[in-house]
Structure formats: structure tokens, C-alpha cells
């Protein structure tokens, strides 16, 4: 997995690409924790180019969700499809984490805390 950080006027987007597996967790976790320290008001993690996700990657997502909930930041996942969607459903993250089809949908949403 290759994470890329992009800054938009109203959000920070982490775009992921490839297999999101155990070997790639440290780099992804570092980017996510940097956003915690920076107190990002809105973070979007884009899975549109991801082909596989394992549990440790979802653990990083949950870590940020808990942080965002505690400090009032907005957070969403986008581009969840195929095998990634199957994994997402198995771990039931969609029950509490906002997920939208595209980054544009998330950037244009007025409130990411209520979109599921």
C-alpha cells in the first residue's frame, strides 16, 4: 500500500493504493497519527485504489475514529468497494464510521459525522 497525503481547503485526504496489509501499517499509522497531532478538523481516508485490507489497517482506522469522536473532528472513509467492502462489512465498521462513495462526496458534505 502506498499512502499519499493531499491537502484540500476544507480537509486532509489520505489516499491509499494497493494492498493494505501488515507490512504497510506502520507508514499508514504514522500518517494518521500526524493528523491527530496536527488536530485536523476533517480527515478523509480514500480506499478507491485499494485491492485488499487486513485487520491491522482497520485498527488504525478505528484509532482515528475514536480520536476524532473525542475531539470533535470530522472523519470519513471513501471508495470502499470489492474485497475491501467485504472486509469492511465483516468488521462492521460501517455501523459507526461515515463512509461515502467518493472523495468529492466527502469534500462536499456539510457534516461528516452523520453520513453513513
Kindly tell me the sign of the dihedral angle through the C-alpha atoms of 37, 85, 49, 105. negative
**Domain 4-107, architecture per CATH:** 2-Layer Sandwich (3.30)
How far is residue 115's CA from residue 76's CA, in Å, rounded to a whole number? 8
Residue 18 to residue 50: CA distance in whole angstroms: 5
Per-residue pLDDT of the chain (116 residues; tens, 9 = 90+): 778 999 999 899 999 999 888 888 999 999 999 999 999 999 999 999 999 999 999 999 999 999 999 998 999 999 999 999 999 999 999 899 999 999 999 999 988 875 55
pTM: 0.93
Amino acid at each position: 500500500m502506498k499512502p499519499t497525503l493531499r491537502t484540500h481547503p476544507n480537509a486532509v485526504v489520505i489516499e491509499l493504493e494497493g494492498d493494505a496489509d501488515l507490512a504497510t501499517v506502520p507508514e499508514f499509522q504514522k500518517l494518521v497519527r500526524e493528523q491527530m497531532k496536527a488536530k485536523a478538523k476533517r480527515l478523509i481516508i480514500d480506499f478507491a485504489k485499494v485491492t485488499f485490507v487486513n485487520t491491522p489497517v482497520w485498527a488504525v482506522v478505528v484509532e482515528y475514529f475514536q480520536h476524532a469522536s473525542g475531539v470533535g473532528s470530522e472523519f470519513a472513509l471513501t471508495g470502499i468497494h470489492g474485497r475491501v467492502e467485504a472486509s469492511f462489512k465483516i468488521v462492521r465498521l460501517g455501523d459507526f464510521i461515515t463512509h461515502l462513495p467518493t472523495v468529492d462526496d466527502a469534500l462536499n458534505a456539510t457534516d461528516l459525522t452523520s453520513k453513513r
